[in-house]
Amino acid sequence: MPHVVLLCKENKPNMKEIVQYLKEKFISVDIYIGKIGDKFPLYKDKNYDIILSYLSPWIVPEHYINSAKIALNFHPGPPEYPGIGCFNFALYDGIDTYGVTCHHMKAKVDSGAIVDVKRFSVIKDETVLSLSLKSYSYMQSLFFEVVDILSSGTRLHESPEKWSRSPYTRKDLEQLCIIKKDQPIEEILRRVKATTYPGMPGSYFIHEGEGYTVSRTPERDQCRDLYENS
């Protein structure tokens, strides 16, 4: 029976079920739950048959990817939105469908061959929070399906889908948060909607060298006041 490693992030939805299901399907399982900034937990002198990255705070080094028989990542976005901020950029673009992706890992994040994609509809009033929660639900289902295939010894699917662009970076996301006086009100509203999430700073504008965060409640009135009175 293969030795399986799961790399995941603390305080994310469905983690208890993900871990429980993996242990139900495999005898030898190591679980590493961490946060951004934690030291990478695997050892170079140890063999890992299957490495699964599920909302992991770590980027898996190339050595481990190459030495494992299978190394898969579960990404909370479709192939059109690789990298960081996938929920944000999708809402900014006004998409009507979204999805989650399982793919083989490569040294460059979100670039390996795609195993499967699950897509779903996006409603008009979708928020970053609601879109993320829906995505985590679909990711859980996709994880269960892939683990079933791995535990049965069946060969993984090969999806015809391809990544459509290079991964978004943290710098890209930071730029999305910036609001400027000369931007049309429609652009400001798009940016606020796409970057508002509970507990996160979200969109902001600069006035006389100081940064001010924009609240989305009530979104339209506040954004229009900022735009017309600044």
- The first and second tokens of residue 53, run together, are 């990255």
Helices (H), ranges, 26-120: 62-67, 86-93
Integer Cα distance of 130 and 200 in angstroms: 15
pLDDT of residue 224: 40
- The first and second tokens of residue 177, run together, are 């948060």
- The first and second tokens of residue 146, run together, are 């892939």
- The domain limits of the chain are 3-152, 173-229
The amino acid that residue 137 corresponds to is S
The tens place of each residue's pLDDT in the chain, 230 residues long, gives: 899 999 999 999 999 999 999 999 999 999 999 999 999 999 988 889 999 999 999 999 999 999 999 999 999 999 999 999 999 999 999 999 999 999 999 999 999 999 999 999 999 999 999 999 999 999 999 999 999 999 999 999 899 999 999 999 999 999 999 998 889 999 999 999 999 999 888 888 866 555 566 654 444 344 444 444 43
pTM above 0.85, yes or no: yes
How many Å separate Cα 23 from the centre of its chain? 24
Integer Cα distance of 139 and 112 in angstroms: 18
**Which residues are 118's β-sheet partners?**
100
Integer Cα distance of 135 and 118 in angstroms: 9
Q: How far is it between the farthest Cα atoms of the chain? A: 66
pLDDT of residue 220: 39
14 three-state secondary structure:
coil
What residue ranges in 134-209 does DSSP mark as E strands? 178-179, 204-207
Peptide bond into 201 cis (omega under 30): no
pLDDT of residue 222: 42
CATH topology of domain 3-152: Rossmann fold (3.40.50)
